Amino acid sequence: MSKTSIPTVGIIGAGQLARMMIQASISLGIECRILAKSLDDSAALISPNVEIGDPNDPIAIEAFAKKCDVVTLDHELVNVEGLKLAIEAGIPVQPTPETLRYAQDKLYQRNQFTALGLRVPKFKALVSESDLLEFSSDVGWPLVVKSATGGYDGHGVWIVHSEADGQVLLNQLWGNGLRVFGEELIDIQMELAVLLARRTTGEIAMYPVVETYQKDGICHEASIPAAISNEIRTSAENIATVIGEHIEVVGIMAVELFLDSQGQLTVNEIATRPHNSGHLTIDGCSTSQFENHMRAVMNWPLGSATPIKNSVVMVNILAAGEKNPLATIPDSQSAETAIHLYGKIPREGRKIGHVTSIGDDREEVAPRARSIASKLRGDS
């Protein structure tokens, strides 16, 4: 790519993250090319540059990559052999297959982070029936069973209350060919996410630590600043820096952390792409996670991750049945509240958009965001 030509960033996957990457790319003068499963995908709906292809097909990925200057990802469920073929053909892929492995395989991630000296929940690979009993004698009931690969929005996470229930579940999961592990159930006081952008020079832009609220494994709300002590904040940031540098991430990385009832931080998992907890950066920070992701992937200088208001709160719009949010757009709205809809067909529980409010005081900002999100869900 010459210095003056328009760069093309290929994005594998066409969900709302790709859609918001495109939105940020417009202002940066970057052209995006999308590998979508269907023309109805959220990002495919708004892109003139869509190719239909299977992210599990290495040949499709290689052919797609060859039409791009650099390739990045909307989600982790991408064939790594295809990414390697793209790299062999001279097309950089960010995150690299080595970095992506951490996000694709939670068990690998747990093992590596343990070796790195980070605190993670107690865990054990479950490969035979006796493993569950052995692990439960260590951590007690209930415990958590997770799929090592393929999980999102709580799919791939099960809370198990007894040996009998656990054996039924394990046999089902093994029958489906899944690799699984057991994990202690953490007594969570608060969930946090630390987002940073990093580029190949090692430059890092660190966003304010986000407080997140999950229900049934799905993120409902995110808020900055997190209501935590400076000490916790600093350790959360340190953990993210250590991980980001160790895995040599390029682009956005999110580290999900549990703050337990004893005040200890435990690493839950990482994502090596823009993350739901970072949607509030679009309206709440100087540079959004999507813009910084594109900048990092292009190896351009990163933008400031500073918040622009004292309080920023994001509320996800989870569809209530088939109610369409376009039917309930509020007539008037505060200038300090922004609506983001993803063009997705509403289906019960599906993330179809989010609302972000900014202001001086969380006590006022959070209800404002919730009330608009609730209107868009069609609650009243």
Ligand X SMILES: Nc1ncnc2c1ncn2[C@@H]1O[C@H](COP(=O)(O)OP(=O)(O)OP(=O)(O)O)[C@@H](O)[C@H]1O
Binding site for ligand X (CB under 6 A): 121, 144, 146, 151-157, 183, 185-186, 188, 191, 214, 217, 256, 268-269
Nearer to ligand X, 180 or 298 (CB): 180
Radius of gyration of the chain (CA): 21
Residue 156's binding partner among ligand X, Mg ion, none (Cβ under 5 to 8 angstroms by kind) is ligand X
For the bound state, the minimum distance from the C-beta of residue 216 to ligand X, rounded and expressed in Å, comes to 8
In the range 237-296, which residues lie near Mg ion by CB under 5 A?
256
Question: Which amino acid makes up residue 285?
Answer: C
For the bound state, the minimum distance from the C-beta of residue 273 to Mg ion, rounded and expressed in Å, comes to 13
Nearer to ligand X, 214 or 281 (CB): 214
For the bound state, the minimum distance from the C-beta of residue 4 to ligand X, rounded and expressed in Å, comes to 39
For the bound state, the minimum distance from the C-beta of residue 100 to ligand X, rounded and expressed in Å, comes to 14
For the bound state, the minimum distance from the C-beta of residue 48 to ligand X, rounded and expressed in Å, comes to 30
Residue 154's binding partner among Mg ion, ligand X, none (Cβ under 5 to 8 angstroms by kind) is ligand X
Which pairs from 122-127 meet CB under 8 Å and 24+ separation? 122/183, 122/184, 123/181, 123/182, 123/183, 123/184, 124/181, 124/182, 125/179, 125/180, 125/181, 126/170, 126/180, 126/181, 126/182
Q: How many residues bind to Mg ion according to rule CB under 5 A?
A: 1
Residue 96's binding partner among Mg ion, ligand X, none (Cβ under 5 to 8 angstroms by kind) is none
Nearer to ligand X, 151 or 378 (CB): 151
Q: Which of 55, 373, 22, 14 is nearest to 219 (CA)?
A: 373
Give the count of beta carbons closer than 10 Å to the beta carbon of residue 152.
Answer: 13
| CB-based closest residue to Mg ion | 256
Nearer to Mg ion, 24 or 192 (CB): 192
Rounded distance between C-alpha atoms, residue 252 and residue 211, angstroms? 18
The strand ranges marked E within 59-163 are: 70-73, 123-126, 143-147, 157-160
DSSP string of 362-376, one letter each residue: HHHHHHHHHHHHHHH
| Residues of this chain that bind Mg ion (CB under 5 A) | 256
